[in-house]
């Protein structure tokens, strides 16, 4: 096979060919991984909803709540046991983490108290901000936020005059995490979820726990 002459034209052709090949390869990888990644995120979200809510047997379709000052809406899922409203899960977020956005699923009971939470996404410093996954539901000092009510409890870090102990050496991450909790409650309140007696919805989904 004849060797291509080392000219500017030939170099451009070779580089163009390599670029096209790389683009096609990356496109193929994206197509192959797009659906599995989406399925994984959906499964994580569904598991988080179950984890943060009181016992229920019916979950209504997603409700999107837009708060003043936010472009991206908050997703809310109302849960029922029979015809009785038992609580709601809210997918909340804050862009003020030490390393960017934090997404958290927060569960409230019918009275608005926090049942539990599950961290969906975060890029905080390993060994510091990443502790948020367990820190705020650990029964130690003033870490545990479960059972607290955002209207009657000051859910900010103690350094700012609040009732919650920040993660050691990760105050920024702690502030952002607690923001997601307060934002979640705002969405919960705005959705008018305080009524215990509601009619069956045609959009509801039966959930096997």
Q: Which residues contact 142 (CB under 8 A, 6 or more apart)?
A: 158, 163, 164, 165
Model confidence over 169-201: pLDDT tens digits?
999 999 999 999 999 999 999 996 544 433 333
pTM of the full predicted structure?
0.76
Please tell me the distance from the alpha carbon of residue 14 to that of residue 132, in angstroms, as a whole number.
50
DSSP characters over 156-191: SBGGGT-SBPPPTT-HHHHHHHHHHHHHHHHHHHHT
Indicate the pLDDT class of residue 42, thresholds 50, 70 and 90: confident
51 alpha-carbon distance from chain centroid? 13
Model confidence over 49-101: pLDDT tens digits?
999 999 999 999 999 999 999 999 999 999 999 999 999 999 999 999 999 99
Copy the structure tokens of residue 208.
């096997």
């Amino acid at each position: 096979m004849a060797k291509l002459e080392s000219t500017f034209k030939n170099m451009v052709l070779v580089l163009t060919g390599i670029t096209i090949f790389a683009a096609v390869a990356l496109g193929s990888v994206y197509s192959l991984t797009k659906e599995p990644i989406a399925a994984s995120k959906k499964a994580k979200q569904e598991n988080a909803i179950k984890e943060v809510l009181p016992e229920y047997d019916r979950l209504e379709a997603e409700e999107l709540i837009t708060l003043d000052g936010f472009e991206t809406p908050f997703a809310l899922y109302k849960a029922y046991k029979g015809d009785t409203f038992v609580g709601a899960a809210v997918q909340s977020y804050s862009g003020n983490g030490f390393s960017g956005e934090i997404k958290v699923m927060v569960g409230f009971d019918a009275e608005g108290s926090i049942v539990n939470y599950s961290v969906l996404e975060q890029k905080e410093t390993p060994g510091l901000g990443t502790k948020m996954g367990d820190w705020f539901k650990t029964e130690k000092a003033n870490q545990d936020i479960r059972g607290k009510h955002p209207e009657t409890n000051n859910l900010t870090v103690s350094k700012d005059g609040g009732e919650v102990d920040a993660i050691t050496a990760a105050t920024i991450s702690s502030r952002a995490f607690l923001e997601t909790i307060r934002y979640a409650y705002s969405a919960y309140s705005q959705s008018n979820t305080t009524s215990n007696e509601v009619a069956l919805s045609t959009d509801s989904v039966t959930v096997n726990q």
